[in-house]
Structure formats: structure tokens, C-alpha cells
Chain A
Amino acid sequence: NAGVMQNPRHLVRRRGQEARLRCSPMKGHSHVYWYRQLPEEGLKFMVYLQKENIIDESGMPKERFSAEFPKEGPSILRIQQVVRGDSAAYFCASSLPEISGSYEQYFGPGTRLTVT
């Protein structure tokens, strides 16, 4: 059973370009979460999605950032017009539906974004 998959693992963008980060959840998982880890800090929640729905985006910056989880295909975190401060590791996690009673989130290997 494959774990959470993220690609690319490393992404380099120049200031002003767009970054697209992809996440495929574990099989059977319908909930996806995105977290950002800045250097020397813990992970900060950005957004929580279910298929075709954004449930909680309270941690997402108001501008330039967006996320989706379409009916088919991976979840996408999109950062437009990247700036140096966007350089970080972005982690995706997935979990079973809440009805399962399990709150465990399983993390992918992360995408390390570097903005030059």
C-alpha cells in the first residue's frame, strides 16, 4: 500500500514564477492537509480539503496561494508570483474520513521549494 506521494521533491523557482506542488493521498484516504515548514520551525497548517471541497483554509495566506483537490487526480497547492519568503518545505498529509474515528494523519516526503 503506497504511502502519501508528493512531487516534485525539490522545486526551484525564480521570483515571480508560479509553483505547483502535487500530492496523492494514501489509498482510501479522502482528506488532504497541507502544511508548511519554515527553516528551524515546526509545521504550520495551511489548508484542509476533501474531494472537490475546501473545508478549512484558515492557515493559508490570503494572496497568491490556492489549493484544490479535484474529483480525479492529485491535490494541488499553487503559489503564484513566488517570493523568497515562500522558500520552505511543504508537506501533504492524508487521513481516513472522520467517521472512521481515526485522526491519524500520514505525511508525504515533502516538496522543498527554493525561490531564487
Chain B
Amino acid sequence: GDSVTQMEGPVTLSEEAFLTINCTYTATGYPSLFWYVQYPGEGLQLLLKATKADDKGSNKGFEATYRKETTSFHLEKGSVQVSDSAVYFCALIINQAGTALIFGKGTTLSVSS
């Protein structure tokens, strides 16, 4: 079945460090890929997305590239801030179905000053 696998956390970094959160997927169809962020006590916010192979999604300094050959969508940021501390979820949706998002388990990021 369709699934998303994320690296387990927590990820603990110092401010201005480089961030990578790995995400790989298995999909029977041709998916769109997303990263969502959840701040403590809040709902999910869409961080970035990519809808086809080699697309790069970017927002607020975060980037992720849709790699069909490696079925990956790794999240990166060159210099993290304390305010980036949150839980990050990788997710996919099968375009043909257009229904449920399938989420990874989430990766907790903690950034200290």
C-alpha cells in the first residue's frame, strides 16, 4: 500500500545549523508530495509542496525536491532558527484519487540558541 517513512526524531540542533529531515515514500499511483509543520498545541500548516518529479517546493527558507528515482522528498534548511522548533510531517496524496493524505509519523525538531 501507499506509505510515507520519515527519519525518527527528535532532531536537536543549534541555531544556524543545517537541517535535513529525510522522507521516502511508496506509492501505487503518481503522488503529490507535501511537508506540513505543527507548532505546539496547534493544527497543521502547509509548509511546501511538489506535484511532479524534479519539482522543488520552497517556503520560509525550507526546500524539498521531488525525486522520483529515489522516491524521496527530503526537507532541508540552510540555517535553522529557534522559531523553527516544531513537528514536521511528510505526506503524499495520490493525484488520481485526490482524497486522503497519507502522513509519516512526524519528526520533532528542537532548535536551541
A91 touches B44 (CB 8 A): yes
Interface residues of B, Cβ cutoff 8 Å to A: 32, 34, 36, 42-46, 49, 51, 89, 93, 95, 98-106
The answer on a CB contact under 8 Å between A103 and B95 is yes
Instruction: Tell whether A45 pairs with B46 under 8 Å between CB atoms, given A103-B32, A103-B95.
Output: no
Taking a contact as CB atoms under 8 Å apart, the answer to whether A41 and B105 are in contact is yes
**Chain B residues positioned under 8 Å from A35 (CB to CB):** 101
- A interface bracket (residues with beta carbon within 8 Å of B): 20 to 34
Give the docked Cα–Cα distance between A91 and B44 (Å): 9
Residue contact B44 to A43, C-beta cutoff 8 Å: yes
Whether B43 lies near A42 (C-beta < 8 A) is no
Task: List A residues at the B interface (Cβ < 8 Å).
Answer: 4, 6, 33, 35, 41-45, 48, 55-56, 59, 91, 93, 98, 103-110
CB distance from B10 to the nearest CB of A (A): 11
> Can you list 13 A-B pairs with a CB-CB distance of less than 8 A?
A33-B99, A33-B100, A33-B101, A41-B106, A42-B89, A43-B44, A43-B89, A48-B100, A56-B100, A104-B46, A105-B46, A105-B93, A107-B43
